[in-house]
Amino acid sequence: MGVLTDFDLSALWVTLRLATMTVIVLLIVGTPLAWWLAHTRSRFRPIVEAAVALPIVLPPTVLGFYILIALGPYGPLGRFAHLSLAFTFTGLVIASVFYSMPFVIQPLQSAFEAVGKAPLEAAWSLRASKWDAFLTVISPIALRGYISAIVLGFAHTMGEFGVVLMVGGSIPGQTRVLSTTIFEHVEVGEYAQAHVVSAFMLVFSFLVLLTVYITNRRFPIHAS
């Protein structure tokens, strides 16, 4: 088996940057949303849950198309930023946040549901602030959910293709990622090199799933 070429390594670097930025944004945005979904009694909860889960069933090209329109110079986000974010790394991050949203929010929501509110209320009774109680009490108990969310969100972003191609294209050093690199290798008949990159992604995906299963066994969440 061969090795990753400079062409592939450049795409790998963009992919790792994209996955890292996406997970960071989703943890910041998704944690309060997941907590709200886990404990709210609002009648709008099913609507929000369906919206979060939509990327799981929606074809990536459909999601990518609408995000591309939104990021364009005449779209709402493009007009707000006064420039076109399509075919840029920033636009790719925005698209990836929407695409990988359920893979981060759903594990967090499940973890928060298992934890319950009792530990938080106990911390409040000891005069801990809400922020301190969440960080020092809830988050450690929900560690399994955080690890699963980070690992799955990172891996899912690494494997993007349809959304990436629609929103970012394949600009070397900017928006070209591993999934589009495989496609380009196949397009020009470089099947051996496509096999190298594909094998790398296959091993990576297996290790991701293995990490999630091991984590679920070693860090059980005890419901209160």
The pTM assigned to this predicted structure is 0.88
Tell me the mean pLDDT in the region 52-72: 91
* Greater model confidence, 217 or 165: 165
User: Given pLDDT bands bounded at 50, 70 and 90, which one contains residue 63?
Assistant: very high
pLDDT digits (tens, 9 = 90+) for 96-105: 999 999 999 9
User: Given pLDDT bands bounded at 50, 70 and 90, which one contains residue 22?
Assistant: very high
User: Given pLDDT bands bounded at 50, 70 and 90, which one contains residue 124?
Assistant: low
User: Given pLDDT bands bounded at 50, 70 and 90, which one contains residue 205?
Assistant: confident
Is residue 117 over pLDDT 80? no
Burial of 208 from C-beta contacts in 10 A (0-12 / 13-18 / 19+): middle
**Can you tell me whether residue 15 is helix, strand or coil?**
helix
Determine what percent of the chain is predicted with pLDDT higher than 90. 54
Q: b or e along 154-181 (b: 16 or more beta carbons within 10 Å of the residue's beta carbon)?
A: bbbbbbbbbbbbbbbbbeeeebbbbbbb
pLDDT digits (tens, 9 = 90+) for 81-98: 667 888 999 999 999 999
* Greater model confidence, 224 or 69: 69
Burial of 126 from C-beta contacts in 10 A (0-12 / 13-18 / 19+): exposed
